[in-house]
Amino acid sequence: MDQRGSGDPVIPEIWWRGLASLFAFAAALLLIALVVLVYHTNIRRDEDHARERHSYEVLAVTYSLGGALSGAEAALGRYVMSGDKVVGTRYYHTWLRAGNRLRQLRDLTVDDAESAAMVQRLQMLYADYGKSLAAAATQANYHKGWAALSLFYQSGKTNVGPEMRRILNQLVEKERKLLVARAEEAQSSSERSNYMAALLSFLGIFLVLCAAVLGVAAIQASAARHTARRNLRRQTERADTLERRVAERTRELQESNRKLQAEALERAQAEAQLRQVQKMEAVGQLTGGIAHDFNNMLAVVVGGIELAKRRLGPGDSEIARHIDNAMDGATRAAALTRRLLAFARADPLLPEGVDTGMLIAGMSELLDRTLGERIRIDLSLAQDRWPVWVDPHEFESALVNLAVNARDAMGGTGVLAIATHNVVLGTAEVGQAPPGDYVRIDVRDNGSGMSREVLERVFEPFYTTKPVGKGTGLGLSQVFGFVRQSGGEVTISSSLGEGTTVALYLPRYRGELKPKEEPAAIVPQVEVPASSDGVILVVEDDPRVRAATLAGLTELGYAPMPCSGGAEALNLLARRTDVRLVLSDVVMPGMTGVELAGHIRHLYPDLGVVLVTGFVGERGRADDLAGYDMLRKPFTIAALANTVESALARGVSARPPAVRAAAGA
């Protein structure tokens, strides 16, 4: 009995502690289950609210789209009635805004097959309706009020507009039903979340009471349980805080991802533009090198043909005809080479201050004859336009090239608009143009336009979409080379069926314009009998061109002396005193022709210099060539005779003004 009596109190205490531990374990499991359930309930609540917000966004964009369509129709109606350009611009922007809303609606309904089908139908109706409204707007733009009103009335009688509104109403009705259902689901999720939170709070209170009751029997166990509950509450609060921080971090990551995507797109566009520029530069360098060698070969061919023709007798008419055909081919090849050099920016320009408005107005008669009577030329020249620093002849050639391309794109009938504007460009605002003042010349046609694939290659030499025999593909490439060489930039914008606009950005000239000189009387080029007094030094590194030049001078009665480079020429001039004229190529290895002319100007101020050029590239500039007699490759014997005779006749006056002043002193 004593043993049982002494052991009886131990057994209930063990059972009590075991039951308390089991109860505490079950309560902890229940609490953990409730925390997990509350977490998932909150996630479900957030998802329901997100779907509800999506419905609101769809409804908002749908209402905005309907308003934009109505606004565009109303604006077009006012534009057709009044002809006010401001109202027309408002119609255009409102219609574009409707298109943007339609694209937003397409993105919002991409996960809903039924809504996506309706949006796709809306896009088709939008495109059809846009064409009919655009026709009325176009007539109003040309001040054809009755025609525009008729087209606007006809577009209003079609069922496109009502069909679009019917689809919009269907979308609104469908999304309203979804909104009601999703709102109910969100409300239900919120109620469940609140219920679970209340249940979790009740369980906490219950556990506190149980802990108080059990604390009477086991203070240590009660303290441990209280500590566990405090830790649990802290973990719950920490979990809620962590959830909020995760949501905030998620939003930050989404914003960062959006910025990174935008930067990646911008970088990709910049890299594509850089690749295009590098490709054009590489093509330009290759083209310039080919044109250089081709010019040298043409110089030999033209010289040989002319020398052969001079050897013909009176009865060699058939041979003379074949030689004339060969000379015609060589002349055409020379013209092609000039275009290649213009694209490669290797042909030296002779820039001066030019009033673009006066020059364009003076070309109107030439453009009328070139384009024909079925093309109307519309000039819009700014009154306060700035002068530009360009080669006027190359500028005229560029305008003619653009006008001919526009004529072909319009099929021989349409409107060619030429306008000038003063613009101030910032850094990297337009292509590679440095910041500063420019005059923009817009050449716009209403022809067939070009696709994006064609636009990417439009400035490449020999690239053309015209039929075989209708073009060489060098017109736009020549314009590109001329504008870049002039320190400007050229851009082109076009889309199929909407015409093309080419914009030339030419640098502003801040000096005074020279007074326009009266055209001098045309003096025919006549070969003057040469004098054999003195020697003409021919400096040319290409032996074939040098031989052809020597033969031409010998044929004219001069005493030429060959020389293969600038250093050799200076050595010869130091030993001989009978040299009257130096005929030098510009591009040579070692010492260039410009550098040789500078040494001659300093050492022999009374000796004339004629520079022969066919390619300049990076080693020559137009300013360096100013003031010297120039002979372009390939040249004829007649051109050689006139240039040499003119240089010999002028003597010291053939040198630049600074040299003439030094010689006079």
pLDDT in tens, 616-627: 443 345 566 766
Residue finishing a domain among 143, 176, 206: 206
Same domain, 545 and 654: yes
Measured over the CA atoms of residue 293, residue 582, residue 589 and residue 349, the dihedral's sign is negative
- Looking at the structure, tell me whether residues 116 and 196 fall in a common domain: yes
Angle at 173 between CA 167 and CA 178, to 5 degrees: 125
> What is the per-residue pLDDT for 308?
65
- Secondary structure (DSSP) of 48-113: HHHHHHHHHHHHHHHHHHHHHHHHHHHHHHHHHHH--HHHHHHHHHHHHHHHHHHHHHHHHTTT-H
| Mean pLDDT computed over 655-662 | 37
pLDDT of 661 strictly over 80:
no
Mean pLDDT of the 341-367 span: 71
pLDDT at 555 over 60: yes
- Beta-bridge partner residues of 379: 418
CA distance 570 to 597: 10
Instruction: State whether 540 and 470 are in the same domain.
Output: no
* % of the chain beyond a pLDDT of 90: 8
Residues 224-246 have a mean pLDDT of 85
Residue linked to tokens 């004219």: 556
Q: Are residues 435 and 547 in the same domain?
A: no
How many domains is the chain partitioned into structurally? 4
Q: 143: domain CATH number?
A: 1.20.120
Over residues 471-488, mean pLDDT? 71
Backbone phi, then psi, for 645, in 5-degree steps? -65, -40
Give the highest mean pLDDT range of 243-252, 262-271, 337-346. 243-252
Please report, for the domain that includes residue 541, its CATH number: 3.40.50.2300
Pair of tokens at residue 12:
């209930």
Can you read off the two tokens belonging to residue 38?
Answer: 């509350």
Examine the domain organization and report whether 364 and 485 are in the same domain.
yes
410 and 333 fall within a common domain:
no
Identify the pLDDT of residue 439: 93
3-state SS, one letter per residue, for 535-582: EEEEECCCHHHHHHHHHHHHHCCCCEEEECCHHHHHHHHHHCCCEEEE
pLDDT over 80 at 563, yes or no: yes
Q: Is 366 within a domain?
A: yes
Q: Tell me the pLDDT of the chain averaged across its residues.
A: 76
Mean pLDDT over 79-107 rounds to: 83
| Residue carrying structure tokens 């109403």 | 169
131 and 170, same domain (yes or no): yes
Q: Which tokens in the block code for residue 633?
A: 């490759």
Shared domain for 425 and 389, answered yes or no, is: yes
Query: pLDDT digits over 370-399, tens only?
Result: 777 788 888 888 888 899 988 888 888 888
Residue 444's H or E segment, with its range, is strand 436-445
Would you list the DSSP string of 479-529? HHHHHHHTT-EEEEEE-TTS-EEEEEEEEB--SPPPPPPPPPPP-----PP
Which residues face 240 on adjacent strands?
A: none
d(Cα 486, Cα 615) in Å, to the nearest integer?
16
Looking at the domain assignment, is residue 269 inside a domain? no
Residues 596 and 561 in one domain: yes
The pLDDT value given to residue 442: 93
194 shares its domain with 71:
yes
> Is the pLDDT reported for residue 119 higher than 70?
yes
482, 568: one domain: no
The domain in which residue 339 lies consists of 281-343
The answer to whether residue 256 sits within a structural domain is no
Which of 40-49, 391-400, 564-573 has the highest average model confidence (pLDDT)?
564-573
441 and 487 assigned to the same domain: yes
Decide if 638 is inside a domain. Answer: yes
Beta partners for residue 505, in sequence order:
440, 489
